[in-house]
Amino acid sequence: MSVLYSVYSPESVYTPKSVYTPAETALHQDRPVLVFLHGLLGSRDDWSETLTHLRDFPCLTIDLCGHGHSREQHCTDFDDCCAQIARTIASRLPPAQPLVLIGYSLGGRLAMYGAVYGAWSALNVTTLVIEGGNFGLHDESARQARWQQDQVWANRFASEPIADVLISWYQQPVFSSLNDEQRQDLITRRSDNLGTSIAAMMRATSLALQPDLLPALKTQPIPVQYICGERDQKFRQLAQSSGLPIQIVLQAGHNVHQERPEAFAQCLRKQLAHQR
């Protein structure tokens, strides 16, 4: 059974091509390993700026199915994707190793789904940190509308030059806090993706196929912390009405860890301090 591409950085000495050997994954009793799951169109490298502010923590960054060095790997649905993530983590860390699972957007949805449906049961997950992750849609009409919307995007990613699709993608309201330079930088970096792989991942993990996770998320045993940007009106409202502990980062939009990486790292430190 395959695992996803990942890089383990002991004590978070982060390098773009950090070398992994099994001896590096000795059990850290005094602090958790921080495990990062990126969003749609991203890769493990999206966390590089954040990791420079977390050098005293061991970190594991993963390329999700269809992304980065895992671009040729695919998943069929949420359960399959979470199973591949769990296998990847288990291949890198000792079974008893405490870890904090941190997910942005799609990565956050997968982290929540896995917590609710037991995908992380063989791992020692001490906290979930969710950045801009959607809990799920409430009614069938909303799910049908979202499925149609995701199908349109998936068809475009599968059939059009990816740079052209990304120009439209980053005009969506959720990215309104980006300035022109930030938007163009994302378009340039995301153009390395394979459109067909992105389309497949969109169809497998569409929000339309995701249950409303919030009720079960609030009763499952893993503590949850939600992080969102002050300027991300949609997800700030979702977070504030969720009843979960939240941290709101000033002068940031949907992608806090890229817009304000040091502030995002401080949010993680604050949460980790509560665990000690």
* Average pLDDT rounded to a whole number, residues 172-178: 89
Query: Cα–chain-centroid distance for residue 103?
Result: 3
* Average pLDDT rounded to a whole number, residues 247-266: 96
Residue-level pLDDT at 24: 45
pLDDT at position 151 over 60: yes
Query: Encoding tokens for residue 54?
Result: 């977390």
Residue-level pLDDT at 29: 64
- Angle at the Cα of 88 from the Cα atoms of 84 and 93, rounded to 5 degrees: 150
Q: Where are the domains of the chain?
A: 6-139+210-275, 140-200
Backbone angles phi, psi at 127, to 5 degrees: -155, 145
Percent of the chain residues topping a pLDDT of 90: 86
- Of 10-24, 26-40, 127-141, 145-159, the poorest mean pLDDT is in 10-24
pLDDT at position 14 over 60: no
Residue 24 CA neighbour count, 13 Å, CB half: 17
3-class secondary-structure state, position 256: helix
Residue-level pLDDT at 63: 98
Helices marked H in 160-232? 162-169, 180-190, 195-204, 214-217
- Of 21-30, 148-157, 159-168, 179-188, the poorest mean pLDDT is in 21-30
Considering the domain 6-139+210-275 in this protein, what is its CATH number? 3.40.50.1820
* Average pLDDT rounded to a whole number, residues 68-74: 95
Please say whether the beta carbons of 120 and 222 come within 8 A: yes
Residue-level pLDDT at 27: 63
